[in-house]
Amino acid sequence: MADAAVAQSSDAQASDDRLRLLIERVERLEEEKKGIADDIKDVYAEAKAVGYDAKIMRQIVRLRKMKPDDRREAEMMLETYKNALGLE
């Protein structure tokens, strides 16, 4: 009976250690993500300083992430909505 309790305690400790390690990994990644986000913000600020429009750059980055078919579909939908609202 005592052996089972020791094994269960050992399993719980291993589980607790695993959870702590996973949480610490997430925390480190969150710190890295914030650092990268700050770097991206700096790049947009630099682009703005030399005369580029950061808002348009963000749209281009978003479009470049899309698959060509998805981008065409989004552009067609945008045209449809603009035409429906008389923006063209």
pLDDT per residue over 15-53, tens digit each?
999 999 999 999 999 999 999 999 999 999 999 999 999
Q: What is the enclosing helix (H) or strand (E) of 15?
A: helix 2-49
Kind and range of the H or E run holding 34: helix 2-49
pLDDT of residue 88: 74
Look at residues 34, 53, 33, 35 and name the one whose alpha carbon lies nearest to residue 44: 53
Domain ranges of the chain: 1-52, 53-88
Tokens of 57: 């750059």
Q: Give per-residue pLDDT as tens, 10-22.
A: 787 889 999 999 9
Q: For residue 64, give every residue at least 6 positions away whose Cβ sits within 8 Å of its Cβ, in sequence order, or none.
A: none
